[in-house]
Amino acid sequence: MITPAALVLAGARPGRDPVADYAGVSHKGLIPLAGRPLLERVLGALRGAGVGHVAVSASDPAVIALATRLGATILPAEAGPSLSALRGVEALGAPVLVTTSDHALLEAAWVHRFLADAPATADVSVLLARREVVEAAAPGTKRTYLTFADGEWSGCNLFLLRTERGLAAVQLWRSIEADRKRPWRIIRKLGPATLLRYLAGRLTLVEALQRLSRLCGAEVAAVASPFGLAAVDVDKPADLDLVRRLVGA
């Protein structure tokens, strides 16, 4: 199992963040959960999994101050998470594990399992969780799912770029970032034949990843997470209420 550096994306999209406003802070990474800011929880999980070098991509002064106090390298946040990821991986060099500062429930065991299960032949590995696994762990949670012939999958905000070729996949991510909540538009990028198979319910996850790999020139693999809560991040106030209940329980 490799031990990569880690990049935590802690930038901010244009405009006000409704979750940060809801929590009364300037940035989601500063939201306290069981007495610790979300960013601190994420960094603790990464280091608990054996990750040594951790960088945080940020622009908020309070986030930068917190990350610095926690011993992370600071990288400037770019205009959007995909560009921040691209610049961060370029700065750190592969292999790099990428996650986000709002991954509130992230645990070292999930990171360790992901790194152990990621195929050694893949340039990029993406952690996904089946819908039934997510809903068993967090009943009632509303997530965005990609629906394939072999199941519905939610992203878990955990990526491993094992080689420099993985940067090609990040470049493709940049082109589809605006459609991250519209699964069919993402599939459309893979070509009309692939889109038709998707709309007809005949496209499997493996077929989609094979097409994605050919399109970007890097091998992309999915890793199935047995931890349903790995798919729960804090995108909206209801998510924050959910993680507070889960941690409180």
236: left (phi over 0), alpha (psi -120 to 50) or beta: beta
Q: What's the whole-number mean pLDDT along residues 34-44?
A: 97
Asked whether the beta carbons of 162 and 96 are under 8 A apart, the reply is: no
- 30 has pLDDT over 70: yes
**What is the residue-wise DSSP string for 154-212?**
EEEEEEEE-SGGGHHHHHHHHHHGGGTT-HHHHHHTT-HHHHHHHHTT---HHHHHHHH
Q: Using DSSP bridges, classify how beta strands 151-161 and 96-100 pair: parallel, antiparallel or unpaired.
A: antiparallel
Q: What confidence tier does 19 reach under pLDDT thresholds 50, 70, 90?
A: very high
**5-248 fold:** Spore Coat Polysaccharide Biosynthesis Protein SpsA; Chain A (3.90.550)
Q: Which residue has the tokens 């405009």?
A: 15
Q: What percent of the chain has pLDDT over 70?
A: 92
Environment class of 178 (CB within 10 Å of its CB; exposed 0-12, middle 13-18, buried 19+): exposed
- 171 has pLDDT over 80: no
**How far apart are the C-alpha atoms of 142 and 127, rounded to whole Å?**
18
Q: What's the whole-number mean pLDDT along residues 48-68?
A: 95
pLDDT digits (tens, 9 = 90+) for 59-75: 999 999 999 999 999 99
pLDDT digits (tens, 9 = 90+) for 195-239: 777 777 888 999 888 988 988 889 999 999 999 999 999 999 999
Q: What's the whole-number mean pLDDT along residues 48-53?
A: 93
Asked whether the beta carbons of 165 and 179 are under 8 A apart, the reply is: no
Per the model's pLDDT, the better-predicted residue between 16 and 192 turns out to be 16
In this prediction, residue 138 carries a pLDDT of 92
Helix (H) or strand (E) holding 148: strand 146-148
In this prediction, residue 196 carries a pLDDT of 76
Q: Evaluate the CA torsion angle 7, 216, 121, 164 in order and state its sign.
A: negative
In this prediction, residue 80 carries a pLDDT of 80
Range scoring the smallest mean pLDDT among 146-160, 201-215, 233-247 = 201-215
Q: Is 224 helix (H, G, I), strand (E, B) or coil?
A: strand
- Spell out the domain ranges in the chain: 5-248
- 134 has pLDDT over 70: yes
